[in-house]
Amino acid sequence: MHGHRHDHTFIDHHHGPGDGSSGRRLTQALFVVALVMVAEVVGGLISGSLALLADAAHMATDAFALALAVVAVRLKAKSPGPRHTFGFRRAPVLAAFVNGILLFGVALWIVVEAADRFMNPQPILAGPMLAIAIVGLVANLFTLWLLHGGDSHDLNLRGALLHVLGDLLGSVAAIVAAIMIWFTGWTPADPVLSVLVALLVLGAAWRLIRSSALILLESAPGDLDGETIAAEMPRHVAALQSVHHLHVWSLAPKEVMLTCHARIDAVADSDAVLAEMRLVLRDRWAIDHVTIEIERERCADHDACPVNPAA
């Protein structure tokens, strides 16, 4: 005898908490970033500063990244359909992954360009460089404030936030470099500080790529172990003999899913066992979206179904 039960507690699949707020914050940030990007391109060309041009290039990718993030939020809000039964819950995760790759590419470009500038110093106008860098810093602080109030578990928003944080560091580096050049005339300060910022951005980009890739690859969340769950479940549910074919993964941040086969005692009430299993999974491991295949006399896959010797 086989039974199948699917249970989840997602009240609304397509309107997650804070989606509207995230969309507004991202749109406002996009507008500010686009304005500052234009100012930094002009300022970088006038002053000859790599730090400003690097920050402008970073902001160009930011503008694209923020636009991508806005699109992802709107896709996430679309209702599920027959071809996309979960809707587009992973659109923000995919956007975060792409943004991480963009960050990585920009940081590498800054390092390469800085190496060339260090070997071949160019004249830099410290005054215009300093003025534009200060404008950029103020704008980046405002944009950071806009995004920082969003959902900390939203990888999409986190990716956009990392872009803006990288810009803020770039503006700080440009200000420090401009002051050093103004007072000492040492133009290599421009590429040196640019590299320091690039290294910080590389670390943040790698962490974003890794966390979003793990979700896209349907890996188990870092604090969950499928083998441990399968081994411990029979200890908490008396009529449960064994759990096998267990899979646990993240559909999106904070949305963990689990499927498994559960062999129960021949005389056990399957509905009661299912209810108890769901309660244990929710209370002990915070897993709400569960699909369970009930098995009694025989397993759907006999080789994978361990039998309790005491049964």
What's 202's domain CATH number? 1.20.1510.10
**DSSP-assigned beta bridge partners for residue 271:** none
How confident is the model over 27-71, as pLDDT tens digits? Answer: 888 888 888 778 878 877 887 777 677 667 667 767 777 777 777
Shared domain for 80 and 209, answered yes or no, is: yes
Q: 8 or 103: which carries more pLDDT confidence?
A: 103
Identify the domain boundary among 169, 201, 216. 216
In a domain, 150, yes or no: yes
Shared domain for 212 and 230, answered yes or no, is: no
Token pair of 112 as six digits: 């390469």
Which residues, 6+ apart, have CB-to-CB distance to 205 below 8 Å?
A: 100, 101, 103, 104, 107, 162
Shared domain for 187 and 142, answered yes or no, is: yes
Share of the chain above pLDDT 70, in %: 80
Question: For residues 24 and 28, what is the distance between their CA atoms, to the nearest angstrom?
Answer: 6
Supply the pLDDT for residue 107: 83
The amino acid at 90: R
Which run of H or E residues covers position 251? Answer: strand 240-252
Sign of the CA dihedral 54, 59, 60, 62?
positive
Indicate the average pLDDT of the chain.
78
- Asked if 239 contacts 265 with a C-beta cutoff of 8 angstroms, the reply is yes
Q: 173 or 157: which carries more pLDDT confidence?
A: 173
Q: 68 or 14: which carries more pLDDT confidence?
A: 68
Shared domain for 72 and 176, answered yes or no, is: yes
Shared domain for 207 and 234, answered yes or no, is: no
Q: Is the pLDDT of residue 254 over 90?
A: no
Shared domain for 202 and 231, answered yes or no, is: no
Q: Is the pLDDT of residue 12 over 90?
A: no
Once rounded to an integer, what is the mean pLDDT over residues 17-27? 63
Q: What is the pTM of this model?
A: 0.67
Confidence of residue 155 (pLDDT cuts 50, 70, 90): low
Which residues, 6+ apart, have CB-to-CB distance to 170 below 8 Å?
A: 51, 54, 55, 58, 136, 194, 197
Shared domain for 92 and 143, answered yes or no, is: yes
Supply the pLDDT for residue 8: 43
Supply the pLDDT for residue 1: 44
In a domain, 8, yes or no: no
Q: Which domain holds residue 236?
A: 220-304
Closest CA to 18 of 121, 148, 137, 165: 148
How many residues belong to the chain? 311
